[in-house]
Chains A and B, each alone.
Chain A
Amino acid sequence: MTGGGSVLGVLAKRAGELAILLFAITTLLFFLLRLGGDPAAVLAGEEADPDQVALISARYGLDQPLWWQYLRYLVSIVTLDFGESLRGGQAALTLVLDRLGSTLLLAFLALAITAALSIPIGAWLGFRPDRGDRRAANALVFILQGIPGYIVGLLLIQLFVVELRWLTSIGNQGVSSWILPSLTLASFLVPKMVRVLAANVAEAMREDYIRTARATGASDVELLFRHALPNALLGATALIGTQFAFLMSGSLITEWIFAWPGFGALLVASVEQLDFPVVQAAVFVIAGLVFLVNAGTDILFRVIDPRVRAGATR
């Protein structure tokens, strides 16, 4: 549902979306937290005594009227002040941003693996989808698509850590410890991307322009790489946005399984410990990332698709 318009227009539209999204999330968080009972009791934790609860209540202004609290809350959010972690006492935002690099590293590795696997496999499957070997491979991809990423992670650990003892599964201890988490995260995306690319390539191969190219003497390799695949990849770029959201969901689980020091694992831990300032900061950082990726995709789309590009300059 992306419309036309200039690069600036795209950015403005996406920024508007981001603002709406953040407003909705923060408001939701604010009221849900109060819906569950006395937020000071929640914030102080289950073992806290009444004095501690009162202290928290005063410190966070929870003894003030609700509308005043909401206003102050919004102001602090706008100034990116999420407060301090209830566990360690550090600034929540700093805690999250410190882990940004690890999460991005994992996401980048997973995307690279996804591209390296799904482009050739998708092209191979879609090029002659009716052949027997492709049908068998299609069935295999279909089953793989039914295996959730966290099960893939557990199976990888079972094989490479428990049985073969080749790799470790805990934290970031250098390049060899990157392999299993990035494979696991990639497994969230690969079957879907393979199926999309195979379908796109198969569709492109049925197009009239393929027949035209064939009639000028193009070989199979040329047809695939110079005609069908560029069109198929162009179609797949529209998916980057939703797939990135899926990737972020996957990194929560992946980082948690492998104790990876990213903000996904931090978010899960903070939710378990009811450390709300950190949860909020993490949600904000993820929203920011989603915004950047979607805006980037829109702009990329305008640069690489001649149809959109021409439409935009006219």
Chain B
Amino acid sequence: MTPTLSTPLPAPAIDPARTVLDIQGLRVGFPRPDGTVVTILDGIDLTVHKGEIVGLVGESGSGKSMLAMAAIGLIPPPGTVLAGHIRIASQDLPKLTERELRHVRGRSVGMVFQDPMTGLNPVRTIGSILTESVRRHQGVDRAAAMAVAEAALKSVGIPAARERLTTYPHQLSGGLRQRVMIALALINQPEVIIADEPTTALDATIQAQILDLLRDTLHRAGGVLITHDLGVAAEICDRLAVIYHGRIVETGPTADILARPHHPYTQGLLDAVPRFDRRGQRLVPIPGMPPSPLADRTPCSFRTRCPAQSAACDRAPPLAPWGGDGERLVACHHPFNAQGAAA
């Protein structure tokens, strides 16, 4: 728990009846100069319920940050949505105009970026950065917006919130700046907050505090935590989605996935993470290199690095339920079972 939050909030119950973010069949592509299209995200399905934190785990270049940008309608040009839906607050983002999208950004979706040192405008005060968003979306006057901003700073555990409103970003420490970024994301009480590698740029001691804060904050709405770090994801996420070369290869409850990974890639990621319960054992890196996002699609992108591949892998594996209660989905013809042996 962070020492600065006075009352630890009870973990809010997840409400499976209320979906705050619903991505279905999302395909995002970039045109090549020769007229063909590179598919960066290939058929992504992802739902987030009220009060739930979903971790999106993958290596750099896997498409996880592109998914975050898509969810806020900010795919960098010349990329476009080729197919699929991104539903937030009963609106489907690919169908909206730029003007309509601006009402969604910051209002229905909040975003926390990686680097708080460069992510806040150096010539604007904290107060003016925060109130700009409040006044845009809530249409209140300056004084009211300042009150909202102060409350937001308090809610992210920033001491002396009122004084901080008149300071500039460079006068704050990295940890405090990331708290300001989180305050900016939640200030209009969005349906869903997306945090893209929110602790990667921070010192290790600060990381733990910010993760605690994110656990509370994201639980109050619905949240997506994007990270390359399984340890971070394990810390605060209710469910995980593992993404590889623009496809989700495995999803399920966090504890379940960590205990019994089904996809060989998930298994590989876990073997590469240091763990207390396997002290003394050698870490096993995944052989080979992750594919370039620009590489051509194959039925299974992991095949060349996979210990279990076979002729069956000529067909693309669907993301299908596997094992017990139907909460676990995996896209593999040779899923691993409980103890990591090939089925």
Give A contacts to B, CB under 8 Å: 207-209, 211-219, 222, 226-227, 230-231, 234, 305-307, 310
Q: Is B103 on the interface with A (CB-CB < 8 A)?
A: yes
Contact A212 B184 (CB under 8 A): yes
**Which chain B residues (107-142) contact chain A, with CB distance < 8 Å?**
107, 110-111, 113, 115, 118-125, 132-133, 136-137
Beyond A209-B122, A215-B72, A216-B184, whether A310 also contacts B171 by CB under 8 A is: yes
Contact A307 B137 (CB under 8 A): no
Chain B residues with CB under 8 Å of A214's CB are 74, 105
CB distance from A101 to the nearest CB of B (A): 36
Q: Which residue of B lies closest to A209 (CB)?
A: B121
Q: Is B181 on the interface with A (CB-CB < 8 A)?
A: yes
Contact A217 B102 (CB under 8 A): yes
Complex: A217 Cα to B133 Cα, angstroms = 7
Contact B136 A208 (CB under 8 A): no
Additional pairs, 16, CB under 8 Å, beyond known A211-B74, A212-B113:
A207-B118, A208-B113, A208-B118, A208-B119, A209-B122, A212-B111, A215-B111, A215-B113, A216-B132, A216-B133, A216-B136, A217-B104, A218-B102, A226-B124, A227-B121, A227-B124
The answer, among A208, A215, A231, A310, for a CB contact under 8 Å with B74, is: A215
Beyond A207-B118, A226-B132, A310-B170, whether A215 also contacts B106 by CB under 8 A is: yes
Q: Which residue of A lies closest to B114 (CB)?
A: A208
Q: Is B168 on the interface with A (CB-CB < 8 A)?
A: yes
Q: Which residue of B lies closest to A128 (CB)?
A: B77
**Total A-B Cβ pairs within 8 A:** 75
B interface, size bucket:
20 to 34
Complex: A217 Cα to B104 Cα, angstroms = 7
CB distance from A127 to the nearest CB of B (A): 14
Chain B residues with CB under 8 Å of A209's CB are 118-122
Chain A residues with CB under 8 Å of B102's CB are 217-219
CB distance from B108 to the nearest CB of A (A): 10
Complex: A307 Cα to B125 Cα, angstroms = 11
Nearest first, the 9 A-B pairs at minimum CB distance are: A216-B106, A217-B106, A216-B133, A215-B111, A217-B105, A208-B118, A209-B121, A208-B119, A306-B168
Q: Which residue of B lies closest to A219 (CB)?
A: B102
CB distance from B165 to the nearest CB of A (A): 14
Complex: A219 Cα to B122 Cα, angstroms = 19
Q: Which residue of A lies closest to B111 (CB)?
A: A215
Complex: A234 Cα to B122 Cα, angstroms = 11
Q: Which residue of A lies closest to B128 (CB)?
A: A226
Complex: A213 Cα to B110 Cα, angstroms = 11
